[in-house]
Amino acid sequence: MDKNINVRQALRVFQKVLDLGVAKGEKTTYKQLEATSGYDGYTIILSDECVTLTVFFHNKFALDYTSKRALYAFLSKLEEIDRQRTVRQDRPD
């Protein structure tokens, strides 16, 4: 299961969370998904209450999850956000 992570999708979702979410400190939250980045700018972290996906340099990643069910729900959430059209609030339509 861990090999089926689409890193490109995770990067797109990370950007959408930053664009559409609410920033609080170093974390930005959108649809119960939190996005943070490492101090170096090369590491990103997407997480919810049960799953943490860390994407490192060269598209390597690590997953930490409480159950397979939680992981499937997290991956569904990534797919849902990835399908959304991003509309930035600071630009006119």
Q: Is the pLDDT of residue 63 over 80?
A: yes
Question: Phi and psi of 50, rounded to 5°?
Answer: -125, -15
Task: Give domain status of residue 93, yes or no.
Answer: no
Q: What's the pLDDT score for residue 40? A: 85
**Confidence grade of residue 10 (pLDDT, cut at 50, 70, 90):** very high
**Angle, alpha carbons 16-17-19 (nearest 5°):** 60
Report how many domains make up the chain: 1
Q: What share of the chain has pLDDT > 70, as a percent?
A: 88
Residue 76 has pLDDT above 90, yes or no: yes
For residue 24, the enclosing domain spans 2-82
CATH number at residue 11: 3.30.310
Asked, for residue 37, whether it belongs to a domain, the answer is yes
Confidence grade of residue 28 (pLDDT, cut at 50, 70, 90): very high
> Do 54 and 43 meet the contact criterion of CB atoms below 8 Å apart?
yes
